[in-house]
Amino acid sequence: LAAVGAYRIQHLLGGTREYALVFNAISSGLILSVFATFLLPELLLARGWLLMAWILAIFWVDLARFWLRRGVYALRGRGWFLAPALLVGVNDEAAALAAQLANSRYSGLNVLGFVAAEHEARPPAQRNLYALGSLAALERLVARHDVEELIVATSGIHRTELVDLFRRFGGRPGLRLRFSGGLFEIVTTGLEVSQVAAVSLLDVAPVRLRGADWLLKWLLDKGLSLLLLVLGAPLMALIALAVRLDSPGPVLHRRRVLGLGGSEFDAFKFRSMRVDGDAILAQAPELAATLAREHKLKDDPRVTRVGGWLRRTSLDELPQLVNVLRGEMSIVGPRMIAPAEHEQYGQWDLNLLTVKPGITGLWQVSGRSDLSYDERVRLDMSYIRNWTIWLDLQILVQTLPAVLARRGAY
């Protein structure tokens, strides 16, 4: 485990990345054991025992780390095991970084506040964080608050200030210095460092749903959707009956949305609104304006009694398993959007259409409707650029607790 870096601080509590390291380490040990039996004939190792030891070692080590991680996350929610951190910069990028860190209980960071560059004015609080001082006072702030991490929003810092930060704090024991990439939307995409003529360059990684990756996701989508449809058929029948008895109208609602490559299709959901919803909304222009801006209403007067329960439990989305089976959606993916909403993605609109929309995804397990629209877009872009089958599995594991907690579900 030590040889593959499983004990490094950046890999501990890393979720699926940690599982992958454990798998690689134990598999490497198995290969070395088999190789040793060829070099040392007197060393007798039964192949059946080796295989059993490999399986059990992966299972028990991963299980132990899983429960350890759950315990640490629970303690972090109570304010334990958090590293004091400062954000250098007070521009929009720094505010976006602060929002992302605040919405993640896995970051392990306690962001104390902002540090303003010398040319920046001291702004009012952003997301309950204040500018604690300027770069000139950074050394004193680090010592006073026992800061362990400095996160620099590079788009708000001059180059000379960046170099000075690196010179003063780079490599200092007990203090980790991190630089964002300049644009938060790019930071949340897949970047790779390459060397060209002894020059370090950042490459934007291509979208990864190709070849073997595509096959793995296809197998996950088809297998899981078929299994859930079979097991969930009785529940779906009861929900359909409840929707029919609760209010007049069809059982299913069809929403026209965009799919892979911009193709349009009807996404199915159990109907959760009254059929005269448009007339109700016409009498409340302030709600109509909020809906046009956020595409969600927290207290929507159009929602029926059964519909409200379905939305809080996310059971209204069960019919979308049919869309997955038909190849129009994925189990895990970015949010589905209507054609009119597509324009709000701005420069990221083409990226969104490179994958299928999903029933669940990063934004669903990160706060759902409690997130701002810009935060949802950033999470979608992060998922698309950083996709792995491990990320899909991690999101699936987090989906059930998120649904049970009902945070942001309305």
Q: What is the pLDDT of residue 113?
A: 85
Higher local confidence (pLDDT), 114 or 328? 328
What's the pLDDT at 97?
A: 79
pLDDT by residue (tens digit) across 65-90? 888 888 887 887 777 888 898 988 88
Q: In terms of C-beta density within 10 A (0-12 exposed, 13-18 middle, 19 or more buried), how is residue 313 classed?
A: middle
Q: Which of 284, 322, 318, 324 is nearest to 302 (CA)?
A: 284
Class of domain 83-187: alpha beta
| pLDDT tens digits, 301-342 | 778 889 888 988 889 999 999 999 999 999 999 988 888 887
What pLDDT was estimated at residue 188? 47
How many CA atoms lie within 13 Å of 288's alpha carbon, on the beta-carbon side?
Answer: 9
Sign of CA dihedral 271, 272, 274, 278: negative
Question: What are the residue ranges spanned by the domains of the chain?
Answer: 16-77, 83-187, 211-405
Write down the pLDDT at residue 348.
Answer: 66
Give the model confidence (pLDDT) of 42-56 as tens digits.
767 777 778 888 889
pTM of the complete model beyond 0.95: no
What pLDDT sits at residue 183? 54
